[in-house]
Each structure stands twice: as structure tokens, then as C-alpha cells.
Structure 1
Amino acid sequence: MPQKIILDVDTGIDDSLAMLYLLASPEAELLGIAATAGNVPAAQVAANTLAVLDLGRAPEIEVALGAAEPLAVPLRTTEDTHGLQGLGYAVLPLSPRALSARSAAQLWVELARAHPGEAIGLCTGPLTNLALALRIEPELPRLLRRLVIMGGAFNHPGNTTPTNEWNVHVDPEAAKEVFDAFSAAPPDRRPVVCALDVTETIEMRTEHLEQLARAAGSTPHEPIGPADLLEWRSAATNPIVRYLTDAVRFYFDFHHQYELGYLAHMHDPFAAAVALDPALATTRPATVDVELTGTLTRATTVADWAGMWGREPNADIVIGADPALFFERLVTRVGALARRLYPEQP
């Protein structure tokens, strides 16, 4: 049976690859997509999301616009990481698809009510929309079959401040509301949290892009590297490969600029893979809370692993994964999707 997914994204580079992974996975059924302000403003996120659906020749999937601002602080975006439009060096045409008439929060609530105990929530951006949805429907932790969150950093340095991760940093109040609300979830429905501790081990390298291009049957062979000019753009015959090459190359350049290597952390596609197959991850239960007042540590996710707070666990934190297995699935699935949608013409 297909797994019903409610996807909440702030569509930047790795979010778009997560979307393509879901579209390429026969066990995934996308019920709807919420556009969250984060990597870029909400309107640009929505435009990117619709354009990626076009690229993936997806059926009609409802996309709802989310809140323009976080719950309590001004929006901070990250064009330096994802490019001016959020898709790196890639440019996709504007989609003719229309946005939903309902808000992202309404989308969450009404889809969860329509599919009680069946829908998996997958959040790869800030948690603003989900927090607003919980204010409308506090029963969401029991209505959802499972929730998978890409966010947080526990026994690991942050990627935005020394202690916190980007998605939580953008809207820490929303993250706290979500973790507090899911304290009411049954143990078998605790959120699965894919934090930096593991997602920064999911390192895409140039060989993965080359493998994907071969799987798609795309030509010409286009090895890329840090010496490439900024103006260089892919000439791949397959549109999905061409898009991914231009998008991910920006991500490679960003990580290389900060001396992390010529690679890209695939945070969001990994979370998508875990949403479909939890066996890809090893988890450990903990009680998670979010610091809101610390002068140096605001937006830090804190895990009580030992029960010192006297509160039941409200999350299963991913503590281990097999990156090679994940990339094997990513390359196989997205490569096959690209080949099927855009077969080479004789």
C-alpha cells in the first residue's frame, strides 16, 4: 500500500531532491505539500515547489502557501547557501499550476482529519506551519501515523550558530510548540528526528551525481569540481540531471567555501528516505525541548537522554544510518525516474 505523505518544505536545493526522491518512490503518495518560509521567502518556496513538481511530471498535488513570517521573530533566509531563488545555479520555468485556496496550516489539519492514523508528516524546513496547524487541531499528534522532522543538533555543533541548526533557528518558538505538543503522542507515534548529528554524515559527492546521470542515461559525461567557473552550466540531455547538476553544484561550492570539502550534506532527502523506510535509521528515544531565552544558546535543541527532567520521551532521535545504502537508493530511484520521464531520443 502506498504511504500517504504530508510534506512541509522550504524548497531549497536538498528539499527539491527530497521531492524528486518521493516522486521516484512507488511506495510514496504525496497528499499535499505545505510551503514554509525558510531557505527563501514563502512565495518563492511555493514557486520552487510547483516548478519541481513540473520537472518531475507529477500529477496534480495540492501545494498550500504557508505563513510569511515565523511565529515570534523576523524571517531570516539563506540565499548564500541555496542561491537567490533557492535552487542554486539552476533556473526552472514558472509553473502554470495554481496554489491551493487553503493555507498550509489548514492543509495539515484537513488532510490529517481526512486520513486519521494513515498520513506521515514530513517536515524538511522550519516548523511554523505545523505549529499553526496544532493550534487549530491539538489532536494532530494522534491523527498522524508518524512525523519525521529534519532539524536540530544534539551531540553535534550547529550549522547556523555554534549550538543550533538552521530549521530550528528560523523559528524556535514553532519547534518548541511542536515538541511540546507531541509529548502527547503515543510511543509508537513519536516524531523521528533527523538532526545534524547524522544528516551531516550523508555526504553527496561528485561521483554520486555522475552515477545518477549514468542511471538516467544522460549525456554528455560532465565531471564537475571546485575549479569550474561560476558561469558554467550543465548541458546534460536529461532535464532532471541538468537541473540537479546546476542546483547541487552550488551546494558543493558552498560547502567547499567553508572548508567542509567539495560535497553537499543531503539532510532532506535522507529524512524523506527515513519517512518511507524507518529501518534506514537507528534511533534512540529522548525528551526534546528547545531553548528560547539563552543569550548564546537560543534555538538550541536539548535532548534529555537519561530522564533527568522526569518527562516521558517525545522524540526518537536518529543516531545512526548507512549513507552508502541511502545513496544507492537515491541514485537508483531518481535515476530511474529521470530515464522514464525523459527517455533519450534516437
Structure 2
Amino acid sequence: MKLIIDTDPGIDDAMAISYAAAASEIDLLGLTTVFGNTHVHQSSRNARYLLHRLAVEAPVAEGAPFALGRTDHAPSERVHGPEGFGDLTDIPEVGTNHSLDAAAFLVEMAKAHRGELVVCAVGPLTNIAAAMRLDPEFSRNIKRLVIMGGAVFCPGNITEHAEANIYHDAAAADEVFSSPPDTVLVGLDVTLKTLYETADFEALARRSADIGGFLRDISRFYLNFYKEIGGLEGCGLHDSTAVIACTHDGMFDMVETGVKVTTIGSEIGATRPDPSRPPIRVCRDVDGAGVVQLFTERVASLP
């Protein structure tokens, strides 16, 4: 399966990209970056560093620095640390970004791999909305869009109503859902059922000293946040679950419904079923233990 991950690395993004690198059924064609967990230039640097560390030769195309109509962004330092990788702050610049920006890169790759390309968006949907604006054929050219975002049947995580990726650019998300390609939404409804605990990270590091050890080390900051805020002894495999949904949709229970995003007011970022919208597949349940096991087995195969 030909895959591009639209990402804002980010600790859980690093886990998802590592999984994609380890999965033999995934041909990772590139990463596009967006603001979110970090500023976009940090996202791009982190993405290039990750690919180098994973020994994956793939381009990184930098995308939107801000939400649609905005000129500022406050990263999630409390969740992911000042540079996106927890307590790791000395992250080297490796290589350079692709000459095309993220939206143009997505459009060109969709044309080049018409009917084959899956795009997995694990950050705000600004780049996806921009690609759809840039080329009206983009939605038809890609095989599928898989989104980590939303909380359709459960409470949010950044507010009572909203999940963080959708909240950070509610207008872009609503634009995507108003005329979506073939889309699977992997939200908090399922990702919070894939808890990855400290013991899981330690076991992973024993089996994969380099990559597993790296993920264990950067996750400590992330795990502390989950414990302080939610009293949880682990973190949801949010972005990794979305990547797994790209190839293992049989692990998920899905319902077809249109989705409307609240774009103003106190419930901004809320994702609500809307039968007047074109239907997408919304993940409602998951084999959480199976996702955790699959993630561990694949990433443990890395050095």
C-alpha cells in the first residue's frame, strides 16, 4: 500500500511513523508536515530526523504553519515538550525539505499514483483542505483518506467537546468533511482503547534497542502528562492506530455517517453525526489489544 502521512511530530507521530517504516505492507512515499504539536518548522525537522534514524529514504514536504485564516499557533509543549520529542531538545537538522509545499506535493503524488495512494492525516487537516482546494480532482485521485481525529461518540480531549487535531483547525476539518474523499475517521472513540503502558515501552526497548529505546525515552514526558491529567498509566496509540487502520480495517467496527464540525462558539471542534453530509466511515470500536500487539511486533523488528 502506497502511503503518505500528514504529520506534526510529536511523540505519538514518531510512534506512527516508526510503525509505518516497520510494516512490510506499507510503501511510505513521504511525509507532509503541518503545525500542531509543534511549529511547522519543528515538525519538518523532526520528520526528517525520524526518517534518517529509521533509514527510510522519503521526502518531507512542509505545509501549513497556521490554521485557515490564522497567523499564529501555540504548540502543545505541555504534552510533547518544547521541541516535540519530550525531554529530547537537541534534535539535529538532517537534510532539507522537498521543493514543493505539502499541498502541491500531495496533489502531485495523488496524480502520479492515481487510485493507489492512501493519505493518513494525523494532525490538523489544513494541508488536506489546501490540497482539495488546489486540485478538485485530488479527492478522486487518492484511494482513501484516513484521519486521526474527532470524538464523534465520546467526549473530547482538548475540551469537553473536541479532539485536538480537529480543534486546531475546525474550519479545515469541516471543509474536508463537507465533500470528503473515501474517508475513515479514527478518533478518540477507538484510540483511547489502545492504551500503551510504561511496561510496554520498556519491553519494546528491550527488543528494539535503537528505535524502541528512542520511543521509550521520548515517551516518558508524554506518559507523565497522561498520568497527571487523566490518571492513566499509559497513552493511547492515537496516530499509530490510524496508520494501522490503513491496512487492517478488519480490526475496527465502523459506522457510516456524515460528520459536521462546529466552527464557532464554545463547542468549536466538536464532531457530530450529520445525515445531510456525505457519509464517511467512523470507527466506533476496535480490537485494542490486537492493535497494541501489532504495534509492538512490527516496531520490535526495527534495530
TM over 0.5: yes
Alpha-carbon distance in 2 for matches of 1:302, 1:72? 23
Provide the secondary structure at the position in 2 that maps to 1:272. helix
Q: Deviations over 1:154-189 (max 9, x none)?
A: 12111111100100111111101111121xx4xxxx
Question: How far 1:241 sits from its partner (Å)?
Answer: 2.7
Q: Distance in 1 between matches of 2:178 and 2:230?
A: 37
2:222 is the alignment partner of 1:251: yes
**Structure-2 residue corresponding to 1:23:** 21
- Which residue of the partner structure matches residue 287 of structure 2? 322
> Offset at 1:327?
1.3
Does the 8 A contact of 1:72 with 1:171 survive in 2? no
Distance in 2 between residues matched to 1:259 and 1:19, nearest whole Å = 25
1:213 and 2:183 are equivalent in the alignment: no
1:134 corresponding residue in structure 2: 132
Q: Distance in 1 between matches of 2:253 and 2:152?
A: 15
Deviation at 1:96?
Answer: 2.7
**SS state of the match for residue 255, structure 2?**
strand
Matched, 1:100 2:98: yes
Separation of aligned partners in 1, 2:205 and 2:36: 29
Alpha-carbon distance in 1 for matches of 2:261, 2:63: 22
2:190 to 188, 198, 215: 198
Aligned mates of 1:92, 1:153 — CA distance in 2:
34
- Taking the aligned partners of 2:153 and 2:177, their CA distance within structure 1 comes to 18
Identity %: 33
- For residue 298 of structure 1, what is the aligned residue in structure 2? 268
* Residue 4 (structure 2) aligns with: 6
Answer whether contact 2:46 2:91 (CA < 8 A) is retained. Answer: no
CA–CA distance in 1 between the matches of 2:90 and 2:210?
A: 10
The answer for the alignment partner of 1:63 in structure 2 is 60
Contact 1:64 1:107 in 2 (8 A): yes
For 2:40, the equivalent position in structure 1 comes to 42
User: 2-side partners of 1:260 and 1:196: how far apart?
Assistant: 17
CA drift at 1:312 = 4.0
| Unpaired runs of at least 5, structure 1 | 217-237, 339-346
Structure 1 residues 59-95: Cα deviation after superposition (integer angstroms, max 9, x where no partner): 2x11011121111234232110000001112346414
> Per-residue CA shift, 1:115-160, capped at 9, x if unaligned?
1000001000000111111111112221111110000111211111
Indicate conservation of the 8 Å contact 1:90/1:243, yes or no. Answer: no
Rounded to whole Å, the distance in 1 between the matches of 2:161 and 2:96 is 39
Count of residues paired in the alignment:
302
Select which of 276, 281, 284 maps to 2:255.
Answer: 284
Q: 1:44-193 to 2 correspondence within 5 Å?
A: 44-59=42-57, 61-73=58-70, 74-91=72-89, 93-182=91-180, 185=181, 190-193=182-185
- SS of the equivalent of 1:285 reads strand
Letter paired with 1:63: V
Shift of the alpha carbon at 1:204?
A: 0.6
Q: Which amino acid aligns with 2:195?
A: E
Q: Provide the C-alpha distance between the structure 1 equivalents of 2:278 and 2:263, rounded to a whole number of angstroms.
A: 21
Give me the TM-score of the superposition, normalised by structure 1: 0.84
1:34–1:66 contact (8 Å) kept in structure 2: yes
For 1:75 and 1:90, locate their aligned partners in 2 and report how far apart those are by CA, in whole Å.
21
Residue 296 of structure 2 corresponds to which residue in structure 1? 331
CA distance, structure 2, for counterparts of residue 41 and residue 96 of structure 1: 17
* Maintained 8 Å contact 1:281/1:321: yes
* Mean CA deviation greater in 85-94 or 200-209: 85-94
Alignment of 1:266-281 (within 5 A): 266-281=237-252
Q: How far does the alpha carbon of each residue in 1:215-254 deviate from its partner, in whole angstroms, 9 at most, with x for none?
A: 32xxxxxxxxxxxxxxxxxxxxx22233112211111100
1:221-236 map, 5 Å: none
2-side partners of 1:13 and 1:282: how far apart?
26
Tell me the secondary structure at the aligned position of residue 126 of structure 1. Answer: coil
1:37-57 residue CA offsets vs partner (Å, 9 max, x unmatched): 011100000001011111111
Unmatched segments (≥5 aa) in structure 2:
none
Q: CA deviation at 1:260?
A: 2.7
Partners of 2:92 and 2:232 in 1: CA distance? 33
